[in-house]
Chains A and B, each alone.
Chain A
């Protein structure tokens, strides 16, 4: 095989195999439950459903400027950057989980306290409408359960499997956006025993009407919240 042909084949193969880039890891996803909480840190508790039969998901969060309606330090919020030493973003999944129950993994992430927003899935930025919340120091903010799946019928979750795109969009996997459904935490939402006694409260979600597509991904809006009402 000539060098030219080998190079061309390698390029085509690369485009088929490589997923979209995710934001840089910043916050600390805890591998073990802490015996106590650091009063200077906030903690996010996230349950994340599988993407499909074989692939585990990931979701990213970003610090949010509710007045500028953008991610801090970017676009309309360029003048409000996150100070050095604080967490700008947190990528949760697919590894370092505290518990795994069937098709759902539970994660605990230590982050800088402040206002955060649900930012993106592996392929999609939720620039068209998401949810923001405050992560308070010295307690666990329970974000509930996240279900993410491509809008092409491939999701294993019945509520997402029925969401389809136009045939010409589904034909090219890289043009299909991800649907994201958040089920708020309630009395019956399972919590790993190792952290059950630690201070914890459900996230007080508020709509985040918009933010820029700074990750260069496909775009979508998070589906309306489900589960018990926010406190």
Chain B
């Protein structure tokens, strides 16, 4: 479950994340960069931020009683959808806050670049993310954290 949430948090940053797509002002895809950070430090930061952000849980609503079985099933389904969406948004916001506090900037990238960066298993992905974070300074201006 925890692993799945971590992957979900990563997916938020990947191309096509619906949360970002809904926000016209904010780019769909982005990465983090910090001038002067070592690859090892960036790896540790990614591990910590992923751990903290994947732990977020949306607030729980009270359970709704209905004697109708179909209604109860539908209610559960809708509740699941709502909580899923909230968790996604909270996970992305928590990840961004984590990197902001650690002194990273957030930069936009193309869908194609994002597909390459956010691909493979976590072990592969974290290496690429750390290299990007510690790599050459981006030429574009930083986004609002």
Asked if B56 contacts A216 (CB within 8 A), the reply is yes
Contact of A168 among B20, B55, B67 (CB under 8 A): B20
How far in angstroms is the closest Cβ of chain B from A3? 4
**Interface majority SS (helix, strand, loop, mixed), chain B:** helix
Asked if A212 contacts B97 (CB within 8 A), the reply is no
**Interface majority SS (helix, strand, loop, mixed), chain A:** loop
Question: With an 8 A cutoff between CB atoms, is A80 at the interface?
Answer: no
Contact of A171 among B23, B48, B72, B97 (CB under 8 A): B23
Asked if A4 contacts B68 (CB within 8 A), the reply is yes
Closest to B93 in A: A175
Closest to B62 in A: A14
Interface size on A, as a range, is 35 or more
Chain B residues in 8 Å Cβ range of A59: none
**Known contacts A3-B71, A166-B144: A217-B56 contact under CB 8 Å:** yes
Q: Which of B54-73 contact A (CB under 8 A)?
A: 55-62, 64, 66-68, 70-72
Asked if B61 contacts A11 (CB within 8 A), the reply is yes
Asked if A12 contacts B82 (CB within 8 A), the reply is yes
Chain B residues in 8 Å Cβ range of A14: 61-62, 64
Asked if B67 contacts A212 (CB within 8 A), the reply is no
| Residue interface mask A141-177, B partner, CB < 8 A = 1 | 0000000000000000000000001111101101111
Q: Which of A1-50 contact B (CB under 8 A)?
A: 2-4, 6-8, 10-12, 14-15, 18-21
Question: With an 8 A cutoff between CB atoms, is A128 at the interface?
Answer: yes
Chain A residues in 8 Å Cβ range of B57: 216
Asked if A15 contacts B75 (CB within 8 A), the reply is no
Asked if B93 contacts A7 (CB within 8 A), the reply is no
Total contacts A to B, CB within 8 angstroms?
Answer: 119
| Residue interface mask A79-119, B partner, CB < 8 A = 1 | 00000000000000000000000000000000000000000
Question: With an 8 A cutoff between CB atoms, is B40 at the interface?
Answer: no
Closest to B55 in A: A213
Q: Which of A205-231 contact B (CB under 8 A)?
A: 210, 212-214, 216-221
Asked if A18 contacts B97 (CB within 8 A), the reply is no
Question: With an 8 A cutoff between CB atoms, is A127 at the interface?
Answer: yes
Asked if A19 contacts B59 (CB within 8 A), the reply is yes
Question: With an 8 A cutoff between CB atoms, is B8 at the interface?
Answer: no
**Alpha-carbon distance between A172 and B56 when the two chains are bound, in angstroms:** 15
Question: With an 8 A cutoff between CB atoms, is A129 at the interface?
Answer: yes
Contact of A167 among B23, B61, B79 (CB under 8 A): B23
